[in-house]
């Protein structure tokens, strides 16, 4: 009887285990890897409509897995807040006279609306940084710049930073108007991008003196992890990224794309097909830049644009599409540079090194972003000897040209001309003396689509002042943006 009772007890115990179901596992801890930071910024500040449009767009896109709206960093130029009548309030360092390479507040009496738009952006969570004042060449190396031959000393940089604070934070007094509150202060300006990415050694101690925490005036590989510079602040460089479908690279900045696509101007007669091709090429390139970091070492993404909609808005649309595509992904934070600097400064040294060296478990590539090709193209160039312009392909590429159905094409102002050679006299007759013109040698496929090209700009054509660019304009896609980045019409 006792045996039977024991057996019944055992059977019940086993049965209870069977009906209890599988034992619950403890949830696996999330991998210790850094967020993917995406830093979206603008240089400039003149166009009030763009202030409103860009901040309104940011309010429509979530990031940090839905916890916050996307936030931009705006690097502003105070001369855009100074009415022309009051321009003497600014004295250009190194010249000791008033010079602005990008103009002043326009239209007249618009400064108040502009500073109010800037304040609204700050209150919405966006960052306000410094792009210096007048956007001239502080290194003094550009022959076409008023600063040529006047590289800035440390004292010059100090004057520029002092005047930045004066012009922005006393802007109502500068413009002889009754003061209104400005919702941000000098202590909120902690980031700097040099005009034209042009620097001298006097900048670094000046940044330290004025309490800046980071600089964005350099360039680096697309997988570069920020490091602190000798002056104590973070180096947040623009990236040198691959251009989709080519064997070229460009800075991750819209004006550099304009330089690559159409010689630094909106392409005359731009078709909708061309506009979409420009947009999609930028978008594919930005996505690939994101991909190699998101599924790789998690270096931050740096995108820098301007307050302009060149090539019929192709680049602004690409930036918006990129923002919508990446910012709501898991582990992605589209924030300001200051917020990213806060995160870096909050890391223990060992943790920072662990992240920077990529020792963490990588996110598995989900193949939602395609790789971009780097094709082998024929070498197209523009020869300019013997008073003529000729679209030329290297002899070694002739066999492949025939196999692929490629052809050289000569263009004037981005329009094909008959044949591949044009004399200088023919060019003058076609364009007119004293004009500015663009001459391009392009490699085109069977459909007439351009695959690669070299473009030269000629100013004052056919006059004693005639000047042709010393190298293909496309090479400048890996150089700092010039004055034109703020003055080129849309």
Residue pLDDT, tens place only, 418-476: 999 999 999 999 999 999 999 999 999 999 999 999 999 999 999 999 999 999 999 99
User: What residues does each domain of the chain span?
Assistant: 36-356, 380-472
HSE-up (13 A, CA, CB side) for residue 435: 12
Strand order in the sheet with 450-459: 415-416, 407-412, 437-444, 450-459, 467-468
d(CA 244, CA 228): 31
Sign of CA dihedral 181, 183, 189, 193: negative
d(CA 432, CA 464): 14
CB 265 within 8 A of CB 273: no
The per-residue pLDDT for 153 is: 98
The per-residue pLDDT for 26 is: 53
The parts of the chain modelled with pLDDT lower than 70 are 1-28
The per-residue pLDDT for 483 is: 86
Task: Name the CATH superfamily housing domain 36-356.
Answer: Glycoside hydrolase/deacetylase (3.20.20.370)
What pTM does this model have? 0.92
CB 262 within 8 A of CB 414: yes
Among 190, 203, 202, which residue's Cα sits nearest to residue 234? 190
């Amino acid at each position: 009887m006792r045996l039977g009772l024991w057996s019944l007890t055992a059977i019940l115990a086993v049965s209870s285990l069977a009906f209890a179901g599988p034992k619950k596992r403890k949830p696996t801890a999330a991998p210790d890897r850094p967020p993917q930071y995406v830093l979206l910024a603008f240089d400039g500040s003149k166009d009030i409509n763009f202030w409103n449009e860009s901040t309104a767009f940011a309010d429509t896109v979530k990031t940090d897995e839905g916890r916050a709206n996307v936030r931009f960093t705006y690097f502003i130029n105070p001369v855009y807040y100074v009415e022309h009548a009051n321009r003497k309030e600014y004295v250009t360092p190194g010249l000791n006279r008033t010079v602005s390479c990008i103009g002043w507040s326009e239209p007249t009496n618009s400064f108040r609306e502009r500073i109010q738009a800037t304040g609204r952006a700050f209150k919405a969570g966006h960052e306000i940084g410094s792009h210096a004042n007048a956007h001239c060449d502080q290194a003094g190396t550009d022959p076409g710049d008023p600063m040529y031959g006047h590289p800035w000393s440390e004292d010059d940089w100090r004057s520029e930073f002092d005047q930045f604070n004066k012009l922005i934070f006393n802007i109502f007094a500068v413009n002889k108007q009754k003061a209104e509150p400005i919702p941000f202060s000098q202590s909120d300006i902690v980031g700097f991008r040099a005009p034209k990415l042009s620097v001298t050694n006097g900048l670094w101690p000046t940044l330290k003196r004025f309490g800046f925490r980071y600089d964005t005036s350099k360039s680096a590989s697309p997988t570069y992890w920020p490091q602190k510079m000798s002056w104590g602040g973070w180096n947040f460089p623009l990236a040198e990224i691959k251009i989709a479908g080519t064997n070229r690279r460009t800075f991750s900045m819209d004006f550099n794309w304009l330089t690559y696509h159409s010689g630094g101007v909106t392409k005359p007669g731009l078709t909708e097909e061309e506009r979409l091709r420009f947009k999609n090429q930028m978008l594919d390139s930005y996505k690939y830049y994101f991909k190699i970091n998101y599924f790789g070492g998690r270096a931050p993404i740096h995108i820098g644009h301007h307050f302009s909609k060149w090539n019929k808005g192709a680049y602004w649309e690409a930036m918006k599409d990129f923002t919508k595509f990446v910012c709501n992904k898991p582990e992605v934070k589209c924030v300001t540079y200051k917020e990213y600097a806060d995160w870096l400064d909050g890391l223990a040294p060992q943790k920072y090194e662990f992240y920077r060296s990529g020792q963490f478990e990588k996110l598995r590539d989900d193949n939602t972003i395609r790789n971009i090709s780097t094709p082998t193209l024929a070498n197209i160039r523009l020869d300019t000897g013997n008073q003529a312009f000729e679209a030329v392909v290297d002899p070694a590429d002739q066999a492949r040209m025939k196999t692929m159905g490629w052809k050289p094409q000569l263009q004037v102002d981005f329009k094909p001309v008959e044949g591949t050679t044009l004399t200088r006299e023919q060019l003058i007759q076609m364009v007119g003396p004293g004009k500015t013109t663009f001459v391009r040698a392009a490699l085109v496929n069977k459909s007439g689509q351009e695959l690669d090209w070299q473009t030269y700009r000629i100013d004052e054509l056919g006059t004693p002042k005639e000047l042709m660019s010393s190298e293909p304009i496309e090479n400048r896609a890996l150089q700092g943006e010039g004055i034109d980045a703020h003055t080129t019409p849309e």
